[in-house]
Amino acid sequence: MSELVALHTQAVRGPLVTPYLTALGRALVAGRTSKAFPDRRPLEATLAALAPELHQGLYDEVYVDARSGLPNLASFTRVLADREVGIESLTRLESQGELDARRGEAEIFERMARKRRYFEALRGLELAPVDRHRVLLRRHEPEQSRASFKVELTKLLADGCYVRVVIDLWQRSSVWAQSLVRLDDGGEVAEGTEALQGTVYRFANFDAETLFVRLHEIDGVTVERVQRGQIGPVLWAIPGEGVLHRVAEPGSGALARAWSTCLPDLATGPPQFVVMFASDTAANDVREEASNDPLSPLLGDQLSSHERARYGILRARHPFKVYKDRKFVVTAAVRPVVEGLCAAAGTKNLIYPLA
Amino acid sequence: MSENASKLNLGALDRQVAYSGEGISVRSLEDNIAAERESQNGKVEELKVLRERNVEIQSALAEEVGKLRKFGDYMDGTAVAGGFWAGFKEIISYVPGFRNIAISRRSIEELLKQQYQISARRVKEAAEYVDTLKRSEQDLYKEIDRINQKILEMARNEAAAVDFVLELKALVDAIEAEKQAVEAGGIEFRDLDAKQDRARALLAQHSANLQLYGAAEERYVSLKENTRKLVETIRNLGQDISQYTTAASIKLDMASAQIQAIGTAADASVVMLELKRSLDVMTESMNATTQFVSDTQVFFRRNLDTLITELETFDETTTKMLDANLAESRQIEDERIAAAIEKARRHKQTAGVPSA
């Protein structure tokens, strides 16, 4: 019911699906995510759309990334494609009443009645995008030949986590011929160039400071803030029929090791979850450089002494400071595992309960 | 009435024959057949629309498979005269919205994910047709049931008409025999003659019914055969699409992590060969979907046009047959009436009464 079926792909089936998706949905609410993270509601909608209660049993499984513990690209795409195709199909299908009335005639009418309900429900949902770029104009100062923009990217990362990157930057018009952001003729609507989108997209996998440095070094561009909010990874374990179904490839980090150690104690009892929300900010207005993330120390602290010196020179050219944090949403039985991790790292993290 | 006349069984003259359903006439038969054919024509129209939609999907899929194959070829390095990056610029230009841009600025991972989503949608669009076809199939099975009921009804009515026509024929002959035994022109003779006329009128009426019910039965049988062919066409088509789309869908589900992995790797300019391998997996799934569309086209070309032609031919033939029957019946009736008038004139002339 939770076996690996392809590269980093775990099929969660049958009675596991609902408790898995329900717990994830609750964790999103409990995590109290800010605007630095991907929008919560579309992601909740995607989780709901993957559940049998909404798709009326049309699918047997949910494909989950075996590393991040979140629904993977195939699952995100499934509901998005169903929504697109469904909206078109609804114009051709008979009414719900007509299909319901024919349910007893043949299996196909019973199936179409369910499908129509699913499509109708999907139509009203705003689903989580696989990727989405947005550029918003914050301020335009024509007399100064400059404008300030907020650049946003929501992305399903290749490691299965879901991230939002938000960048506040200024751009001077003297170099707009090769600009990152274009304004329309009215000076009101901004559009990111493909060069900007490509750069942000590729660097979304890395720390906020890496993207800050990369963009800040472009002529005419001044970066004020790069903020990165990531949902996942998720460690999950659901007992069922004498087997402990669980995230298949949790990695080898400190938390994953501690998690693996406590698994035998989780073989019976309720499902257990550790859902992580990591944030990473590189900004001019960060007062003190620090990491409150027990799983991700500052970049400078991870370098050898030789590399650290070079890094110091690089950082001296830029005014920003970095702050990292991570909060957790956990079920009761695994709370001590997370608390132990934070204590060992010397961090003070928010740990919200997941009922 | 004479003693001889009382030996005749005249019950048939006053009996109402119990034909089931509504009464039949050439017009009512036309109307009924037209109604039965309406749903069948609807299904044929649906299939026509489906054929047109398939052409659209086939074009879209062919284009996407072309792009994926381009990716694969360029990853091989075999199709690039001006080097890898020159070739890559070309393949990026195939993706909507990415024309005329520098490849070094693009994210391969993003491109691949976009292509993955387009492919997934195409497969789902194709899979939607399976349910549409299954629904049509069920509707047509129901139609066959209805036609079968009609065939039975027509067959029973035809049998009833045959019995009655034979009975009436026997009565006409018996009356004729009786007439030979009585005085010609006498009261008893006139009475028998009147009864024979009634019997003949009924005979004409029910002979026409016999023909109509027989024609209707044959026509409904032909209609059923065509409907059955339509069902088989739709069922085969649905099964083919189902197989292809299921295979393509599974492959896409299984390839999602590979697509992301090689996208990231390509963005980092690492392990280009992995990109090629993963693209092959994706191309394979698209190939499967394209294949079904192609097969569908052939299937339609071979079967649908023939079916439509057959339906039209069948309809035309039956109408002609019914028209001919009607014309013949009218001619017989006219001849009878003419003969009767002639006889009446002769009778009046013999009696010395001037004709009107």
Q: Taking CA atoms, what residue in A is nearest to B259?
A: A158
Average pLDDT over all residues of chain A? 90
Give the H or E element holding residue A133: strand A131-141
Return the pLDDT at A177.
44
Find chain A residues with C-beta within 8 A of B110's C-beta.
131, 197-198, 201
Give the residue-averaged pLDDT of B349-354: 53
Find chain B residues with C-beta within 8 A of A198's C-beta.
105-107, 110
3-state secondary structure of A264: helix
Confidence of residue B222 (pLDDT cuts 50, 70, 90): confident
Q: Which of B64, B93, B117, B125 to mutate to test the interface with A (most CBs of A within 10 A)?
A: B117
Return the pLDDT at A95.
93
Percent of chain B at pLDDT > 70 equals: 55
Return the pLDDT at A176.
46
Find chain A residues with C-beta within 8 A of B124's C-beta.
81-82, 85
Q: Is pLDDT of B103 > 70?
A: no
Residue whose pair of structure tokens reads 């939607």 in the numeric block: B128
Return the pLDDT at A98.
94
Q: Of A8, A85, A106, which is closest to B124 when you measure between CB atoms?
A: A85
Asked if A63's CB is within 8 angstroms of B253's CB, the reply is yes
Asked if A85's CB is within 8 angstroms of B121's CB, the reply is yes
Q: Is pLDDT of B55 > 80?
A: no
**Domain range annotation of chain A:** 4-123
Q: Among residues B302, B313, B292, B300, which one has the least CA distance to residue B46?
A: B300
Q: Which of B104, B113, B122, B258 to mutate to test the interface with A (most CBs of A within 10 A)?
A: B113
Give the residue-averaged pLDDT of B202-210: 85
Return the pLDDT at B313.
46
Confidence of residue B102 (pLDDT cuts 50, 70, 90): very low
Return the pLDDT at B282.
53
CA distance B128 to chain A (A): 8
Taking only residues 5 to 64 of chain A, the set having a beta carbon closer than 8 angstroms to any beta carbon of chain B reads: 5-9, 63
- Contact predicate A270/A330, CB 8 Å: no
Structure tokens that stand for A243 in this block: 């087997």
Q: Taking CA atoms, what residue in B is nearest to A5?
A: B254
- Contact predicate A131/A178, CB 8 Å: no
Confidence of residue B61 (pLDDT cuts 50, 70, 90): low
Q: pLDDT tens digit string along B117-130?
A: 888 888 888 888 78
Return the pLDDT at B49.
74
Q: Of A73, A109, A130, which is closest to B138 when you measure between CB atoms?
A: A109
Find chain B residues with C-beta within 8 A of A206's C-beta.
none
Asked if A89's CB is within 8 angstroms of B264's CB, the reply is no
Judging by DSSP bridges, how do beta strands A321-330 and A351-353 pair with one another?
parallel
Confidence of residue A179 (pLDDT cuts 50, 70, 90): low
Confidence of residue A307 (pLDDT cuts 50, 70, 90): confident
Find chain B residues with C-beta within 8 A of A199's C-beta.
105
**CB distance from A98 to chain B under 8 Å?**
no
Q: Is pLDDT of B180 > 80?
A: yes
Q: pLDDT tens digit string along A76-85?
A: 999 999 999 9
Q: Is pLDDT of B354 > 70?
A: no
Q: Taking CA atoms, what residue in B is nearest to A197?
A: B106
Find chain B residues with C-beta within 8 A of A7's C-beta.
257-258, 261
Give the H or E element holding residue A197: helix A194-203
Asked if A81's CB is within 8 angstroms of B254's CB, the reply is no
Find chain A residues with C-beta within 8 A of B134's C-beta.
106, 108
Phi-psi label, residue B107: left if phi above 0, alpha if psi -120 to 50, beta otherwise: beta
Asked if A6's CB is within 8 angstroms of B253's CB, the reply is yes
Find chain A residues with C-beta within 8 A of B245's C-beta.
none
Percent of chain A at pLDDT > 70 equals: 97
Q: Is pLDDT of A178 > 60?
A: no
Q: Which of A122, A194, A200 to mutate to test the interface with B (most CBs of B within 10 A)?
A: A194
Residue type, B25: S
Q: At what angle do helices A40-50 and A17-30 cross, to 10 degrees?
A: 170
Rounded CA separation B198/B201 (Å)? 5
Q: Of B101, B120, B257, which is closest to A9 when you measure between CB atoms?
A: B257
Find chain A residues with C-beta within 8 A of B256's C-beta.
6, 9, 63, 72-74, 77
Structure tokens that stand for A334 in this block: 């695994």
Q: Of A72, A131, A194, which is closest to B105 when you measure between CB atoms?
A: A194
Percent of chain B at pLDDT > 90 equals: 6
- Per DSSP, A217 falls in state T
Q: Is pLDDT of A342 > 80?
A: yes
Confidence of residue A16 (pLDDT cuts 50, 70, 90): very high
Q: Which of B64, B93, B99, B110 to mutate to test the interface with A (most CBs of A within 10 A)?
A: B110
Confidence of residue B9 (pLDDT cuts 50, 70, 90): confident
Least confident piece of the model among A139-153, A170-184, B15-29: A170-184
More confident residue, B98 or A131: A131
Please give the backbone phi and psi of residue B237, each rounded to the nearest 5 degrees, phi first: -65, -45
- Contact predicate A320/A212, CB 8 Å: yes
Q: Taking CA atoms, what residue in B is nearest to A66?
A: B257
Please give the backbone phi and psi of residue A257, each rounded to the nearest 5 degrees, phi first: -65, -45
- Other C-beta atoms closer than 10 Å to the C-beta of A100 total 17
ipTM: 0.89
Q: Is pLDDT of B352 > 70?
A: no
Give the residue-averaged pLDDT of B241-266: 77
